[in-house]
Structure 1
Amino acid sequence: MEKLFTGIMQFRREDFESHRELFQELGRQQKPHTLFIGCSDSRVVPNLITRTHPGELFIVRNVANIVPPYRKTEEYVATTSAIEYAVQALEVDSIVVCGHSNCGGCAALNKSPEELSHLPHVRKWLEVSKEVPGRVDRLMTGDSPEEREWLTEQINVLVQMKNLLTYPYIREKYDAGKLNIYGWHYLIETGEIFNFNDEKGVFEPVA
């Protein structure tokens, strides 16, 4: 915790002071251009990998960057409400679903219920992506664990992009050309980001 306290003081002395005018502008309002849906993984830092400033990204993070399909419910819905707020209230013009390499949540999609018995809430959450392993099996060209890993992570991104379009207000804006949806796969060890090319049906490096 001492490291965090030291970091707070350093932020106040250095980073805040160098961006004082920006923070004053952001003090009473925000107008982010992008909703960034990413994994809670500590190695994924949205503002760092996109070189964006405070106020540019509205960020939703959860295990395995999952988007539950739209449904009307009286339950407490964190991810769904954040998406609703970003699109309806803040009127972002883009949504990014960003998966990443060595994702523990995606790896858990290939485990049995018994193996996840000590993580009941994670197991329930991952049901949103239950179609992923079957789709990966159909695309596997061999039995390489590495191939299964990156295919699982990329197919999982595509499932969440599909789920976004079950939200009526997203579908309406997307069809009208007022909202863009992107799927990314971030490789932690190289810093590369692959963007899904919808026309070609492949992830391509952002260059």
Structure 2
Amino acid sequence: MQKILDGLVKFRRGDFEIHRELFRGLKSEQRPHTLFISCADSRVDPNMITDTLPGELFGIRNIANLVPPYHETSEYMASMSAIEYAVLSLEVKNIIVCGHSNCGGCAACLKPSNFLDHLPHTQKWLELAHPVRDRVLKEIPEDDPEAREWMMEQANVVEQLKHLMTYPYIRQHVILEKLALSGWHYIIETGEVFIYDRNVGEFLLANG
């Protein structure tokens, strides 16, 4: 905890002072250009990856960067409400779904069905990735765990892009070219980002 408290002091004396005018401008409103949906993994830092400042990214973080398919409900839906707010209220121009290497959530999906019995809420949440898991287990042999991991992480990103398109207002905005969707696969150990190319159906290394 002390490290975090020291960080607060350092921020106030350092970065805050450097960007004082930026924070003053953010006092009353935010106008982010992008909704960034990423894993809650502590190794993934959206602003660091994208070199963006406060006010640019509206973020959703959860286990395995999942997007529930659109459906009418009276339940409390954190991710769905955040997507709705970002698109309809903040009017973001982009939505990025960013998966990453060595994702614990994706790895757990590939484990035996009882692997998460001690984490029932996590187990339930990851059901959203089961269609991807089933395809990976069918297509990639058990003796190639690295290939399974890689495919699970990337195919999961593509699946969430499909889920986003089940939201009527997102589909409409995309058709009208008011909103662009993108899928990323971030490699922690190299800093590389692979971006999904719909035209070829593959993730291609981002080269700027």
Both structures adopt the same fold (TM-score exceeding 0.5): yes
3-state DSSP of counterpart to 1:72: coil
Runs of 5+ unmatched residues, structure 2: none
- Measure how far apart 1:142 and its partner are: 7.6
- Measure how far apart 1:176 and its partner are: 1.3
Could you tell me which amino acid in structure 2 is paired with residue 129 of structure 1?
Answer: A
- Measure how far apart 1:139 and its partner are: 4.0
Q: Does 1:11 align with 2:11?
A: yes
Aligned to 1:92: 92
* Alignment check: 8 A CA contact 1:68 1:128 kept: yes
What is the CA–CA distance in structure 1 between the aligned matches of 2:139 and 2:16, rounded to whole Å?
A: 48
Could you tell me which amino acid in structure 2 is paired with residue 193 of structure 1?
Answer: V
Aligned to 1:121: 121
- Measure how far apart 1:115 and its partner are: 1.3
Aligned to 2:171: 171
Question: Aligned-pair RMSD on alpha carbons?
Answer: 1.1
What is the CA–CA distance in structure 1 between the aligned matches of 2:75 and 2:53, rounded to whole Å?
A: 33
- Measure how far apart 1:184 and its partner are: 0.2
* Alignment check: 8 A CA contact 1:34 1:95 kept: yes
Could you tell me which amino acid in structure 2 is paired with residue 124 of structure 1?
Answer: K
3-state DSSP of counterpart to 1:118: coil
3-state DSSP of counterpart to 1:134: helix
- Measure how far apart 1:84 and its partner are: 0.3
Aligned to 1:143: 143
3-state DSSP of counterpart to 2:87: helix
3-state DSSP of counterpart to 1:61: strand
3-state DSSP of counterpart to 1:38: strand
What is the CA–CA distance in structure 2 between the aligned matches of 1:184 and 1:98, rounded to whole Å?
A: 5
3-state DSSP of counterpart to 2:156: helix
Count of residue pairs brought into register by the alignment: 207
Aligned to 1:190: 190
Could you tell me which amino acid in structure 2 is paired with residue 194 of structure 1?
Answer: F
* Alignment check: 8 A CA contact 1:113 1:123 kept: no
Q: Please give the per-residue CA displacement for 1:64-108, whole angstroms capped at 9, x wherever unaligned.
A: 000000011111100000000000000001000000000000001
3-state DSSP of counterpart to 1:64: helix
Runs of 5+ unmatched residues, structure 1: none
- TM normalised by structure 2 equals 0.97
Could you tell me which amino acid in structure 2 is paired with residue 85 of structure 1?
Answer: Y
- 1:25-174 equivalent positions in 2, closer than 5 A: 25-140=25-140, 143-174=143-174
- Measure how far apart 1:45 and its partner are: 0.1
